């Protein structure tokens, strides 16, 4: 099999031009790719692939040349370059030149003064999923050192794609590089696309792009970030140099709807009025791929029914936002008509009929989240069935994750569920009353479209999607909690709590409830939610806290403390509650509470207890097996 693969690659290489060319190292062997010969994609590979490449093989230059209106796209289907050091600058490595100019009639080339965009080594997981050129030329420079290894090199595919596929649909603002205006009027489409500069190639650093959306009087703007790749990881956006801020108005003085960073797919935003302002700032030294997004000017919900009545089925569809309820059992609740209310099962408080099936859609706007509080919950409970809710009467709650509906939880039996909060302005609920009986009252639920995350303390800041300030000059002590506490905290949410004391004060937190879904050290690799304490506004080094703890105490280092709570789109928990108090330095040792440091030491007690319990149970199991 390896022999046949090698023969295919040799035949493939023979289709491309091999010359000495110009390179950083004049001894480089240069291979040029100028066509895919009628196929969708061409292939390229390192020497001797899939056998290990030889030491002292020197330098190989792979030059991909597209037409002037095209860019180059390459994918590594396999990548194995020996990694001698972390930054891939010694030994074996691949330099990527994404921005190569064409000068004169000869083939494109690079010199020792040319800047590469990245250096690659290691395995497939360490290589990027795709690489794009900025212009019509992309060059890979493979350098093989003297060390003998079993690394096999790489194989990949390339494609030439039309750069005009990634043009932003708005009107470019004169004398700016990346500012655009999107106006809704009868002579332009009601939808379009926008991209970060040079997308799908990496955006430049030290830039700021402004995107202004202006809808008509009775319209709102729907914006969906289909792909957003700034930096890898799950850091707080307050710690990132590359961020996107979305403002619910015409400028940066408007309330912030979202702050986006890291990597996001299918993230939807809906303005509360006819204007939206998006600002993309990139200040990092390692730019990401950027973003692609689509926008749509939609008729405001308050006028949606009128619009729907005036269009037939062949007209433009705005989706569920304008669909009317088909019966009292199928209902749509819109925040522009009512910010709160109550829903009940059919015939409540009498029994609902068997085979009842109801849909409830909640549609908010702007910064709003949907909150459900269960006041009564009495569904038919079938005996002899499985413990899950699939075979009995139940309520399913659905969230919108990456542009699709995803079930959050199924509720059945007769325990009163905890409050639930959406991860955005939309939420759906499905009631399935399969059986019913004379003793099943059904349910009664209060709903509300909230912007304060159901947090009752602190001053909310509008310059962040979820942020609250606590000043000792206003209140010396109080309590804080996670969003929606004591219910399940919402997914895909970041909230920041800022504590400001006087110059000689520190703040002390005593957590009386702590249930954050995750596994220590609470990183993205374990899909963990977390909280993080910091004595400065930007801090990526502080430890994270997650899991279930009986108690947690924390004391700030100085008179400022930032507490960051961040959840992902995976699992749920009930969050936290904590008492806080501002203390002068002279009062710190007079308190009867234990002394604490912000080094996470208080986590060790519950961890050690858990480990000890586990070991004891393990010994019991082994002892029982031996006895038997």
Residues pairing with 547 in the sheet: 516
Q: How far apart, in Å, do the first and last CA atoms of the chain sit?
A: 52
Q: Is 625 a residue whose pLDDT tops 60?
A: no
Report residue 416's pLDDT band, with 50, 70 and 90 as the boundaries: very high
pTM, whole model, 2 decimals?
A: 0.79
Closest residue by Cα to residue 195 from 165, 232, 160, 159: 165
* Secondary structure class of 605 (helix, strand, coil): helix
Residue 464 has pLDDT above 90, yes or no: yes
Please report the pLDDT score of residue 373 as a whole number. Answer: 97
CA atoms within 13 A on the CB side of 133: 28
Cβ count near 56 (within 10 Å): 9
Is residue 585's pLDDT more than 60?
yes
Q: Before 20, cis peptide (omega within 30)?
A: no
Closest to 376 in 3D by CA, of 435, 454, 446: 446
Whether residue 597 is predicted with pLDDT greater than 60 in this model: the reply is no
**Per-residue pLDDT tens digits for 288-297:** 999 999 999 9
The C-alpha atoms of residue 6 and residue 1 are separated, in whole angstroms, by 9
Both tokens of 118, joined, read: 């990245």
The domains found in the chain, sorted by start residue, are 2-164 (2.60.120.290), 167-302 (2.60.120.290), 325-450 (2.60.120.290), 459-609 (2.60.120.290)
Beta bridge partners of 192: 295
Q: How far apart are CA 119 and CA 154, in angstroms?
A: 14
Spatial CA neighbour of 508 closest among 439, 598, 430: 598
Confidence of residue 285 (pLDDT cuts 50, 70, 90): confident
Q: Tell me how far apart the alpha carbons of residues 111 and 288 are, in angstroms, rounded to a whole number.
A: 25
pLDDT score at 396: 94
For the cut 50, the answer to whether the pLDDT of residue 593 exceeds it is: no
- Residue 177 CB: number of other CB atoms within 10 A? 11
Question: Please, which residues bridge with residue 479 across strands?
Answer: 579
**pLDDT by residue (tens digit) across 315-372?**
333 333 333 344 568 999 999 899 999 999 999 999 898 888 999 999 999 999 999 9
Pairwise CA distance, residues 588 & 595, whole Å: 8
| Residue 627, token pair as written in the block | 């006895």
Name the 3-class secondary structure at 589. helix
Mean pLDDT of 462-469: 95
Q: Nearest 5°: CA angle at 481, between 549 and 419? A: 95
Q: Are 563 and 514 in contact (CB under 8 A)?
A: no
Count of other CB atoms within 10 angstroms of residue 363: 23
- Using alpha carbons, list the distances in angstroms from residue 381 to 44, 174, 359, 395: 62, 66, 21, 13
| 41 pLDDT higher than 90 | yes
What rounded mean pLDDT belongs to the chain? 84
Percent of the chain with pLDDT over 70: 82
Residue 205 has pLDDT above 60, yes or no: yes
Report CA-CA distances (Å) from 254 to 248, 250, 251, 437.
6, 7, 6, 52
Report which of 336, 344, 394 is spatially closest to residue 362, judged by C-alpha positions. 336
Pair type for strands 207-214 and 219-229: unpaired
Say what the pLDDT of residue 148 is.
92
Out of 24-28, 63-67, 361-365, least confident range: 24-28
Mean pLDDT is lowest, of 387-391, 421-425, 573-577, 593-597, for: 593-597
> Strand, helix or coil at 330?
coil
What is the pLDDT, as a whole number, of residue 386?
58
**What pLDDT does 313 receive?**
39
Residue of 103 and 360 predicted with greater confidence: 360
Provide DSSP, 283-316: --SS---EEEEEEEEEE-GGGHHHHHHTS-TTS-
pLDDT (0 to 100) of residue 502: 93
- pLDDT(2) > 60: no
Query: What percentage of the chain exceeds 90 in pLDDT?
Result: 61
Structure tokens given for 24: 């950083």
Among the listed residues 168, 202, 178, 208, the one whose alpha carbon sits nearest the alpha carbon of residue 289 = 202
Predicted pLDDT of residue 318: 32
- Selected residue with higher pLDDT from 257 and 628: 257
Residue 556 in 3-state DSSP? Answer: coil
Contact 143, 174 (CB under 8 A): no
* Bridge partners of residue 220, in order along the sequence: 298
Query: Tokens representing 15?
Result: 């289709």
User: How buried is residue 353: exposed, middle or buried, by Cβ count under 10 Å (0-12/13-18/19+)?
Assistant: exposed
Structure tokens at 471: 């000043």
Name the least confident of 103-112, 369-378, 606-615: 606-615
- In whole angstroms, give the CA distance from residue 184 to residue 93: 50
- Residue 32 pairs in a beta bridge with 17, 63
Closest CA to 15 of 158, 126, 152, 218: 158
What DSSP letter does each residue of 451-495 carry, written as one string? SSTT--SSEEPTTSSSEEEEETTT-SEEEEE-TTTTSPPPSS-EE
pLDDT confidence of residue 395: 94
Two structure tokens written together for 254? 């408007």
Supply 558's token pair.
């100085």
Q: Find out whether 544 and 531 touch, Cβ atoms under 8 Å.
A: yes
100 DSSP assignment = -
Query: Tell me: the pLDDT tens digits for 508-563?
Result: 999 999 999 999 999 888 889 999 999 988 887 889 999 998 888 999 999 999 99
Q: Residues 293-314: what's their mean pLDDT?
A: 62
Cα gap 311→612, rounded to integer Å: 68
pLDDT at 525: 84
Residue 240 has pLDDT above 80, yes or no: yes
Q: Are 192 and 169 in contact (CB under 8 A)?
A: yes
What is the structure's pLDDT at 55?
87
Evaluate the CA torsion angle 322, 328, 330, 334 in order and state its sign.
positive
pLDDT at residue number 477: 95
377 has a pLDDT exceeding 50: yes
* pLDDT in the model for residue 122: 94
In the block, which residue shows the tokens 């003064």?
113
């Amino acid at each position: 099999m390896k022999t046949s693969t090698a023969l295919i690659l040799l035949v493939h290489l023979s289709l491309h031009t091999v010359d000495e060319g110009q390179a950083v190292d004049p001894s480089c062997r240069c291979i040029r790719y100028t066509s895919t010969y009628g196929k969708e994609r061409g292939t390229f590979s390192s020497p001797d692939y899939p056998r290990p490449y030889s030491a002292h093989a020197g330098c190989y230059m792979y030059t991909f040349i597209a037409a002037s209106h095209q860019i180059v796209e390459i994918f590594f289907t396999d990548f194995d370059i020996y990694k001698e050091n972390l930054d891939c600058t010694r030994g074996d490595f691949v330099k990527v030149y994404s921005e190569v100019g064409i000068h004169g009639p000869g083939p494109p080339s690079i010199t020792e003064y040319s800047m590469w965009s990245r250096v690659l080594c290691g395995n497939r997981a360490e290589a990027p999923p795709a690489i794009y050129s900025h212009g019509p030329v992309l060059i890979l420079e493979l350098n093989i050192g003297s060390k003998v290894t079993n690394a096999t090199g790489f194989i990949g595919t390339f494609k030439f794609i039309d750069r005009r596929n990634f043009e932003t649909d708005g009107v470019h603002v004169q004398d700016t590089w990346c500012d655009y205006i999107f106006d809704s009027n009868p002579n332009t489409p009601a939808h379009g696309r926008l991209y970060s500069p040079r997308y799908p190639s990496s955006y430049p650093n030290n830039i700021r792009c402004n995107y202004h959306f202006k809808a008509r009087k009775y319209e709102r703007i729907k914006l969906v970030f289909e792909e957003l790749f700034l930096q890898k990881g799950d850091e707080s956006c307050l710690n990132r140099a590359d961020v996107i801020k979305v403002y619910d108005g015409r400028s940066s003085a408007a309330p912030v709807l979202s702050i986006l960073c890291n990597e996001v797919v299918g993230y939807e935003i809906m303005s509360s009025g006819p204007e939206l302002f998006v600002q993309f700032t990139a200040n990092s030294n390692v730019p990401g791929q950027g973003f692609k997004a689509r926008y749509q000017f939609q008729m405001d919900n308050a006028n949606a029914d009128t619009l729907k009545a005036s269009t037939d089925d062949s007209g433009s569809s705005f989706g569920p936002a304008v669909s009317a309820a088909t019966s009292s059992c199928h209902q749509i609740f819109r925040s522009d008509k009512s910010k709160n209310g109550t829903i009940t099962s059919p015939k409540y408080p009498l029994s609902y009929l068997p085979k009842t099936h109801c849909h409830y859609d909640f549609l908010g706007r702007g910064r709003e989240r949907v909150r459900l509080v269960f006041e009564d919950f009495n569904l038919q409970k079938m005996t002899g069935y499985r413990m899950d809710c699939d075979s009995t009467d139940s309520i399913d709650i659905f969230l919108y994750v990456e542009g699709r509906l995803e079930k959050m939880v199924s509720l059945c039996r007769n325990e009163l569920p905890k409050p639930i909060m959406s991860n955005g302005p939309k939420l759906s609920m499905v009631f399935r009353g399969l059986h019913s009986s004379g003793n099943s009252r059904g349910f009664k639920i209060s709903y509300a479209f909230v912007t304060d995350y159901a947090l009752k303390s602190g001053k909310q800041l509008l310059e962040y999607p979820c942020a609250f300030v606590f000043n000792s000059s206003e209140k010396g002590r109080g309590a804080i909690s996670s969003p929606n506490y004591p219910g399940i905290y919402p997914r895909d949410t970041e909230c920041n709590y800022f504590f400001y004391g006087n110059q000689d004060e520190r703040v002390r937190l005593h957590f009386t409830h702590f249930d954050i879904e995750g596994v220590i050290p609470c990183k993205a690799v374990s899909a963990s939610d977390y909280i993080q304490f910091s004595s400065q506004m930007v801090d990526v080094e502080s430890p994270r806290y997650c899991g279930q703890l009986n108690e947690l105490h924390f004391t700030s280092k100085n008179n400022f403390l930032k507490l960051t709570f961040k959840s992902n789109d995976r699992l749920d928990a009930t969050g936290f509650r904590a008492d806080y108090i501002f203390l002068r330095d002279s009062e710190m040792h007079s308190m009867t509470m234990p002394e604490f440091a912000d080094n996470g030491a208080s986590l060790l007690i519950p961890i050690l207890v858990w480990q000890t319990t586990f070991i004891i149970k393990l010994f019991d199991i082994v002892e029982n097996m031996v006895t038997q």
